[in-house]
Structure 1
């Protein structure tokens, strides 16, 4: 009685010394199951850590070291980092206190400045973005307004503040006016440049299809101009945050700029340094938020 043993193609019998040569050859030609590779242990990416975390930490450490060396020199009058840190702990222990209209915590001052920036920037966006589209679409308007923009854009922001005080008769609207007039130019210029750089083939297709002006704007211009527009918005927000600090130093009231000037009048240099860091951190957060917003609406990677 002969017994036949059938093997699965994945289970080839082992070729031993008792098999005939033909059987050994057939066994060798049979596909065998390959053993699954052993799972590798996850390796830590120290290169990414080195390039991402270490450089900023070293930069901050260098800044603190230079600050300490300058503060340690005789007659500088600048407080040391440890003294400023102690003052910062005291300032941020109650950032929203109120002891009168001109004595409020740093939190209220930052919120007041952000409110002025939001109003002035919002008005500039309502005017500047449509104006940029119109200037970019019309050769006549472009040649008409380009000399005016070139003339007014380099004017110092503080030069517009007296005009605002004269017209609006108040410090708060004058500061908002200064933010408006200084942050409108980046949005107008970048939007107009984006419209002018739309490929002519797109506009030719729109003419062939006899698209309305509204469809040209929504289907062609706006998606193509959006990266330029968002770049102008980022530049405008940065300009607005720079301007409001200088404007509040001159107009007074509540705001981070007024807080800096008030601390200088009280000869509290530690609070001035704290205000400098607060201004920088708020500006950094605004920039980071706009980068994230831009990355949601554009396919290209948006870099700082």
Structure 2
């Protein structure tokens, strides 16, 4: 062998080559954790509940249909949620969208008014003494008790439903916002005085970030109550909406349609809560509760 021939050193592994398998491994591990810890337990529980429901309601004298019958009875509603035959005869997707539109309008009005009133009560002792007893009384009134009054005032079912949403959602927003404002640490207020912040700067840089965890707690409670209230209100006011769909199905003895609508209502309510929680986490990230 020629003594002058030298063996080439082994090729060094580049950082990029190592990073790709490592990143894929982390993604695979994370997906496995999500499957085993987050998805599998509720799926197992749902399967067990479905089997129990099927066994319980499969007898001849059962008052409610089993899941297999619900699926067969509502299959057309499931596969075609966007049909529109005119009037109130529309698919479940349109029913849900009509309800969500009312909830969105009433809820956004409640957010604007509730945060403003919560800030006022949290900042002013006089407003706290004057308004808090009134709010504590009004918030105990059931939402549907406002419906006849709103119908008499607006003379229209659509704004009346929006008012019911507004009056339902506003109380937890006011209460949690005022608590958050009152729990702003004194050190934050002292910094604002040292920096001589004006009212808008203090509100934007001190007040809102410090009270944001409390505010979003109220927003999550409010959106859940809004979704509950609109379903009940639509049963009374009629028209297009998932609440009226349930009432109409009851009058026609379509129990399977009611069960399907309840499943959709629960899924939408869960998504609304998670949406507000996600926005709150993004905004309050890194901000500890006062």
Range of TM-score over shorter length: 0.7 to 0.9
Question: Aligned-residue CA RMSD in angstroms?
Answer: 2.4
How many Å apart are 1:132 and its aligned residue? 0.7
Higher relative contact order (CA 8 A, sep 6+): 2
- 1:5-44 equivalent positions in 2, closer than 5 A: none
Counterpart secondary structure, 2:158: helix
TM-score by length of 2: 0.85
Higher helix share: 2
- Which 4+ stretches in 1 moved above 4 angstroms? 42-49
Q: CA-to-partner distance for each residue in 1:185-210, whole Å, 9 max, x for gaps?
A: 11111111110000012112222332
Match of 2:204 among 205, 218, 230: 218
How many Å apart are 1:114 and its aligned residue? 0.4
How many Å apart are 1:107 and its aligned residue? 1.2
283-292 or 176-185, which deviates more: 283-292
Match of 1:293 among 279, 282, 287: 279
How many Å apart are 1:219 and its aligned residue? 1.3
Q: Give the corresponding residue for 2:41.
A: 55
In 2, the alpha carbon distance for the partners of 1:130 and 1:223 equals 15
How many Å apart are 1:88 and its aligned residue? 3.3
**Residues 81 and 190 of structure 1: CA distance in aligned 2, closer, same or farther (over 3 Å):** same
In 1, the alpha carbon distance for the partners of 2:286 and 2:44 equals 30
How many pairs align?
266
- 1:1-304 equivalent positions in 2, closer than 5 A: 49-299=35-285
Counterpart secondary structure, 2:81: coil
Contact kept in structure 1, 2:249 and 2:258, CA below 8 Å: yes
How many Å apart are 1:108 and its aligned residue? 1.0
How many Å apart are 1:93 and its aligned residue? 2.3
**Residues 224 and 49 of structure 1: CA distance in aligned 2, closer, same or farther (over 3 Å):** same
Gaps of 5+ in 1: 1-38
Q: CA-to-partner distance for each residue in 1:50-98, whole Å, 9 max, x for gaps?
A: 3223211111112212321331244332111111112332102222222
Gaps of 5+ in 2: 1-20
In 2, the alpha carbon distance for the partners of 1:153 and 1:120 equals 16
Q: CA-to-partner distance for each residue in 1:251-297, whole Å, 9 max, x for gaps?
A: 11000000001011110111000000000111111112122211211
In 1, the alpha carbon distance for the partners of 2:286 and 2:178 equals 20
In 2, the alpha carbon distance for the partners of 1:94 and 1:47 equals 35
